[in-house]
Amino acid sequence: MNLQLIKKFAFLFVASFAIVSCNDDDEVTPTETSAMLYATNNSDGDITQYNVENISDVKMMKFTTTSSAADGIYYDKDKDELVQASRTSFGLEGFSNISTLTSSIAVEIDLGMLGTTKMDNPREMAVKGNFYVVADSKDVDDDAQTPDGRFFVYERKSTGFELRNIITTNIKLWGITFIGNDLYAVVDADDELAVYQDFLNTTNTTTMMPTKRVVVEGIVRTHGIAYDANTNTMVMTDIGSATNTADDGGFHIIKNFSSKFAATANNGTIAVGDQIRVAGAATLMGNPVDVAYDGEKDIVYIAEAGNGGGRILAFNNASAGGNMTPVFNSALAAASSVYLQK
């Protein structure tokens, strides 16, 4: 039996791994009150689910997929669907009935949900209603001197994902997130944050420039981004030098984000004094490529791609800042993205 068939029908329950030990025989059974973290990777393309309701006793399940590498991920609670951006098929893959899965049930892939496979280098994903936007970091004109990237805009319909339009822009892309109708995107290989106002109003395949760009002082090279609407908090990761995957990474927390961003002029700077930085050798961050934030509990979750070959990290009381030790540290080879569902 070939690898793809094995990956399609196999299902693996993985015992939880945490700083505080837990019962290896416990299974993850999603409930209405559970907080679930979903993670992708570029090692085997499988999806790992972490029940993080109690950060001191995290349970894990691993869902096998037909992909060998994947990036952006999203869970739709109403539809009970997991969607990831496949770096194998270069389309969107959807997985149904996630909450019903146990250690004895194989993950079934609903082939009818597969999206158009036209992407080249898919990274992060942002969702607004039935629209799924994927940032593609492929250099469109193959000229490193002229940074660019593309947004692939998919619409979720009853028959699956339909590619609505492709938007080319003049920044290198990675992490993206919606705040209301506006799409925020990190400027990869840089220290900037860009916004595209009323992004989904552009329905044709075209070129679009950011409405505004600002520098986030203190960041060397940003990748991941997450926004918590309840606390109006933005979190951005800093991978530092791309050649140092061990200990020069970190993340920045920007409280009262909407006011600070609005008060910063186009091409202006959000000062480091208006942010909280978490970084240092104790954090185990060398290449933090994605982030999720629980504003209610002030916990930051990190997909760390470099240190130790890849990890999922969690930082409690993250707003304290500094060189803090993660409260949760679980190995995940080539971790690529995280999504928190509460």
66-95: per-residue pLDDT in tens?
899 999 999 999 999 999 999 999 999 888
135-164: per-residue pLDDT in tens?
999 999 999 889 999 999 999 988 888 999
pLDDT at 19: 30
**218-342 is a CATH 2.120.10.30 domain:** yes
Q: Is it the case that residue 3 has pLDDT exceeding 70?
A: no
- 340-to-33, 82, 85, 223, 242 alpha-carbon distances in Å: 13, 12, 16, 17, 26
d(Cα 59, Cα 74) in Å, to the nearest integer? 19
pLDDT at 10: 38
107-122: per-residue pLDDT in tens?
544 444 666 788 999 9
Contacts with 39 (C-beta within 8 Å, 6 or more apart), sequence order: 47, 48, 50, 73, 303, 312, 332, 335, 336, 337, 338, 339
For residue 316, the 8-state DSSP code is: T
296 token code pair: 């209610």
pLDDT at 183: 98
Q: Where in the chain is the domain with CATH 2.120.10.30?
A: 218-342
